[in-house]
Structures are given as structure tokens and as C-alpha cells.
Amino acid sequence: MPSAAEVLDRYVAVSGGQAAYDRVQSEVKRTTVTVSGAKVAETVSYTTRNGNFRFIARGAGGQSDLGVNDGVAWTRSAERAEILETGEDRAQALQSAELLPEGHWRKFYKSVEMLGPDAVDGRPCYKLKVVPFAGEPHTLWYDQRTGLEVKEVEPVPGGGEAEMTGGEYFESSGIRLPHVFQVRMNGVVLTTTVDDVRFEEAIPDSVFALPPDIERLMKRRFSTK
């Protein structure tokens, strides 16, 4: 039985190798989210190695954003805009801003544990418990034959769990990524399909610029200190 660290390191190796992960300096990813075959949202994310990040989701309810710019983490939707100054929300936003975190998993997990063999859809897997520095423990499953991750279960705010399965891996710039994710949460199944991933694409600074309402919140915060 391999250790949990050996399973995670094997994933890095079979999905492209440490050198390939380290070489990437930027990522632009576009996805489509569906429920029962009907499109509910389109998303695009921009990530750079220096920690700048922008995630935009557009659906019937309008647009929502999550961003990190030079350490300032923020979120906004049609209802509200907020600077994430402290707590778990800020920590998770900063973690989302990490480029290809799978390749540097030791930065995110304070402990990893092998729970033993298990099966996912009849495939022999290794089942791991990982405890991130930000957030609650997750459970991960890795295919024993291929070394690729096939399932993850994590707690969700307010109670319950989200179960994610990934498959149909494809290669982009030497790195293998899952093409389709299914998320089961509170009786609803969301399917996220990766439409396009581009590494090393130049991302304009304007993508990461703080929106006007977030800038106003920043000015108000500093004016009261």
C-alpha cells in the first residue's frame, strides 16, 4: 500500500510531471455548466503564477465575480460587493488564485492520510483524507491503475457535502486535465464541461483590475482607519 504522499506525487507525475507544472505561468479556462442537459452558466477564469486571479460566472441570474489582485481578495454579484479581509472565505479565495495547485499540493494540505483501498464505479482506487490549511478535510479517490484522480468529497457551508467526479482527461501543453466534472450537492447534479484551456496566454492587467464598486469599498476602508 503506497502512502498518501506517494499517491499524490504519482498524480503529478502521470498528469504531466513536476517540470510541466512549474513551467506554466498563466492559465485561461472556459467552462459550461449544465443541469439535466440545460445550460445554466458559462464561466471563465484567469490565473497567473504571481497570484492574480479572476473568475467570472454568467447565468440567468446575472454575473458573479471572484478576484484576487495583489493580495486583495474580493467578490461581487448583482446583490452585493465585498472585500474578503479575513477568515476562511479569504483563505479559500487566495487558494483559488494558485495556478495548478495539484502540482504543489504540499502548499495546501497540512496533512494527508491513506484510508485504504476502495472502488469508484467498479474501478480499484486509493482513498485519501487530506486536511487543507484553509477549510475542512476532503476525501479523494485516485485510480490505482492510471494514478489519476476520479472523485472528491468535501463539506459545504451550512452542512452537507459536495461529491465531485472527474473524467475524460485530455492534454493541454503537456498537462492532463479532466474534461468533465459532475458535482452532486443537495440532490442537484451539476455538470461542468471544460470548453477550452490555454496556458501561457497573455492576460491584460485590466482583467485583474478592481471593479469600481470594489475600489470604492477599498477607499472607504482606508478612510476609516
What average pLDDT does this structure show over 82-94? 85
Asked whether residue 222 carries a pLDDT value surpassing 80, the answer given is: no
Asked whether residue 221 carries a pLDDT value surpassing 80, the answer given is: no
Bridge partners of residue 114, in order along the sequence: 128
Asked whether residue 96 carries a pLDDT value surpassing 70, the answer given is: yes
What average pLDDT does this structure show over 76-85? 88
Say what the pLDDT of residue 188 is. 87
Say what the pLDDT of residue 33 is. 95
State the residue range of the domain holding 46: 4-223
Say what the pLDDT of residue 225 is. 54
pLDDT one-digit tens code per residue, 51-71: 999 999 999 889 999 999 998
Asked whether residue 4 carries a pLDDT value surpassing 80, the answer given is: yes
What average pLDDT does this structure show over 143-150? 96
Say what the pLDDT of residue 37 is. 84
pLDDT one-digit tens code per residue, 26-57: 999 999 999 988 999 999 999 999 999 999 99
116 or 135, higher pLDDT: 116
Q: What is the pTM of this model?
A: 0.89
pLDDT one-digit tens code per residue, 16-29: 999 999 999 999 99
Asked whether residue 92 carries a pLDDT value surpassing 80, the answer given is: yes
Domains identified in the chain, total number: 1
Averaged confidence pLDDT in the chain: 91
CATH code for position 30? 2.50.20.10
